[in-house]
Amino acid sequence: MFVKAAPRRHPLTRLPALLLACGALLAAVGARAATPTEAQRAAFKQAWAAAQQGGDGWRAWTTQLRNYPLYPYLPAAALEHDIRQTDLATVQAYLRQYPDLIPAQDLHRDFLLELARRKDWNGFLALYQPGMGDTLACDALQARMASGAKLDFDTDLATLWSRPELPGACDPVLQVAYGQGLLTPSRLWARIDRAAEAGKGGTIAVLAPWLPAPQNEEAQRLAQALRDPAAALASAVSWPDTSRARQAATLALERQARRDTNAADAAWQQLQARFTFSTTQRDAILRVLALFHATDFDTNALDRLIALPAAAQTAATREWRARVALAEQDWPAVLAAIAAMPATQQQDSEWRWFRARALAATGHPEQARGIYEDLAGDATFYGFLAADQLKQSYAICPLAPVEDLPQEQALLQQPGLLRAFELYAVDLPKLARREWARALDGADAHTRELAAELANRRGWFDRAVFTFTYGDTLRYYALRFPLASQDGLVAQARQAGIDPAWAYGILRSESAWVSDARSGADARGLMQLVPATAALVARRNGLPWAGDDSLYDPTVNIALGTRYLAQLALRYNGMPWLTSAAYNAGPNRVDQWVDARNALPPDLFIATMPFKETREYVARVMAFSVIYDWRMHGSALPMSDRLTPFGQPYALPDSLTPRKTVDCPAPPPPAPTSSVQVPAGTASAAGGASAAPAAAGSIPPAPAASHRR
């Protein structure tokens, strides 16, 4: 717990002199220093809490924090809090003392924003440096204009003008540019087209009034097509058949298809005779209509996709041709759809699996077996399914990094990395990640790997997850799939009545072990719980609830996350694969899919879920569950046992549940390249396949809103 901060004094009266005086005292900061102590960390936490309240109360801990690597963060935090009262000299003093540190970078940017707010343009120009982002670039132009300078388009605006969207700080600059006659119609249309391509209807609406009539009306149609496609399509029947009107109608049809496919289809039937759409526009419209009829599994969706012109076909339309065929369990159509894909798309593990399934269903078991055997060498969702089909062990071939103690010691003396480790140790993970990224910017792969190992030993697990994403590093399973016993997941999962390996798989997929992860939907922490949901789960289960930010505490997050998983599982007969889908897409969506397609086997149901994110999420969680099960027990519950069909109860595994063995098959001997014979049975020095398994553990994206396709 933080102690009460010392009494505040006014931040401006003594700070510049104190900064300079402390500079001599703390000259060794950033140089090679003694290993930080727990006492220093405790003192820093107290000083940090005080610094965030502003003033100089934090200085009560200065003596204890002499030479501590994070000391520069303290005066910067106090200055940030008091930034509206801080003067230029104080900030410049700090920047001179710590010119290369992240808190100096932040203070530099934030004080420039404050100077712009004050309209202190002289002070702004004294501190500004180019390359600090669009907002400050526009503020700098305002500062120059305040001193009477004229704008030059090529020098001042060309780079900004290329952006599809600009911050509000640029509005006064663009207004002046328009007044100077710099924003010609051709320049306006160039930016409008970029904004249209990026879907930025708001940008177009701002620019449209600067165009002469009737061009401004044409631009407004484009803005409406992006912002309110239904209204645009309703009024399009009275638009003239011009190039810009056709562009707007095409955009509106594409947007509306995503929202209401049938309404878009009806509008297309009405407008296709009115406008002389180009072949490219017609293809785009037909493609998006066919695609979203497919994601809705509408009647004739498969015929629509097959009938698309070759130029209108994309990877998405080809894969949805296969998905619709899978939903209909039309195996010859599945084979035809996969055959229509480019070779690279056919090699995706999902389509190899379903090609084997289709071959087996159409009387070609030997061809199917060959594909299963190839897939079964991968530690992936479909690889595990293929191994189950063949009744084989799972092929998981672990590796461990090679030790390099001298390089590790050198890394521990790197000031930036030391600051990163310290920030993590004092519970400031966001700042720690920034220091980490800067410290390792430009580092070679070996250095990054060693740093990730060092972080892992300190309980900073997500560094390894994000580092080991390629080649043989995918086989560093102990690092990529940590078992963090201190967070209590196993005990909490068992108390909740769910499989701990599955709970680990959810956690790893949701946050990649980033304890302070926060999504755009405000889902927080390791298991990505929305505060309102977490509060309800806490109340229902009699668990303590200390507010939204308590979800960043791993023990709190895991206790609530496992209970929420158990609550969802009850809704879906305990089935972990379907519960995983509901955890990602929401139970209401999943209920709709179940009502429509509950006759499908689990693998087909997963493949026909309309949200790409959810399909990949379920496959990832299930594969991670197998890997975590193996890590915990040395063997794994078969994937096929995890994919309980609709109508069958799911049996929670326990210590007596039969599990599948895991081994690492030796790779086949390499083909001879000369007359020298290769001895039979030669294996790699690593004792396993030299090729890395496919991405059973690829790093998930930051949680985002689900979308169709």
pLDDT above 60 for 213: yes
Type of residue found at 389: Q
DSSP 156: I
Cα distance between residue 174 and residue 138, in whole Å: 9
Maximum Cα–Cα distance across the chain: 87
CATH annotation of 485-663: 1.10.530.10
3-state SS, one letter per residue, for 632-673: HHCCECCHHHHCCCCCCCCCCCCCCCCCECEECCCCCCCCCC
- Whether residue 103 contacts residue 76, with contact meaning beta carbons closer than 8 Å, is answered with yes
H or E element, residue 394: strand 394-395
Which of 449, 453, 510, 613 is catalytic? The answer is 510
Alpha-carbon Rg for the chain in angstroms: 30
The overall average pLDDT reported for the chain is 90
How do residues 379-432 score in pLDDT, each as one tens digit?
999 999 999 999 999 999 999 999 999 999 999 999 999 999 999 999 999 999
Bridge partner list, 524: 518, 529
> Mean per-residue pLDDT for 34-60?
95
pLDDT score of 487: 83
Query: How many CA atoms are closer than 13 Å to the CA of 116, on its beta-carbon side?
Result: 23
Look at the alpha carbons of 365, 366, 372, 373 in this order and tell me if their dihedral is positive or negative. Answer: positive
Q: Is 319 a catalytic residue?
A: no
Weakest mean pLDDT among 65-69, 357-361, 691-695: 691-695
Could you tell me what percentage of the chain is helix, strand and coil, using 3-state DSSP and rounding each to the nearest 5?
A: 60, 0, 35
Tokens for 133? 């982002």
Read off the pTM.
0.88
- Whether residue 429 contacts residue 463, with contact meaning beta carbons closer than 8 Å, is answered with no
Q: Scanning the structure block, which residue is given the tokens 């930051």?
A: 702
Look at the alpha carbons of 552, 554, 558, 560 in this order and tell me if their dihedral is positive or negative. Answer: negative
pLDDT score of 129: 96
- Kindly state the percentage of the chain with pLDDT values over 90: 87
pLDDT above 70 for 439: yes
Q: How far apart are the first and last CA of the chain?
A: 48
pLDDT above 80 for 94: yes
Residue boundaries of the structural domains of the chain: 11-128, 228-309, 405-475, 485-663
Cα distance between residue 419 and residue 412, in whole Å: 10
Between the CA of residue 173 and those of 113, 136, 139, 205, 240, what are the distances in Å? 16, 12, 8, 17, 35
Tokens for 104? 């100096």
pLDDT above 70 for 338: yes
How do residues 454-507 score in pLDDT, each as one tens digit?
999 999 999 999 999 999 999 999 999 999 887 899 999 999 999 999 999 999
What backbone torsions phi and psi does residue 392 show, to the nearest 5 degrees? Answer: -105, 165
The band of 674, judged by pLDDT with boundaries at 50, 70 and 90, is: very low
Query: Who contacts 595 (Cβ-Cβ below 8 Å, separation ≥6)?
Result: none
Q: Scanning the structure block, which residue is given the tokens 């509206």?
A: 84
> Mean per-residue pLDDT for 178-207?
96
φ/ψ bin of 573: left (φ > 0), alpha (ψ from -120 to 50), beta (otherwise): left
- Whether residue 383 contacts residue 426, with contact meaning beta carbons closer than 8 Å, is answered with no
Between the CA of residue 149 and those of 122, 141, 145, 169, 176, what are the distances in Å? 13, 9, 5, 18, 11
Cα distance between residue 73 and residue 30, in whole Å: 12
Q: Scanning the structure block, which residue is given the tokens 């590796």?
A: 399
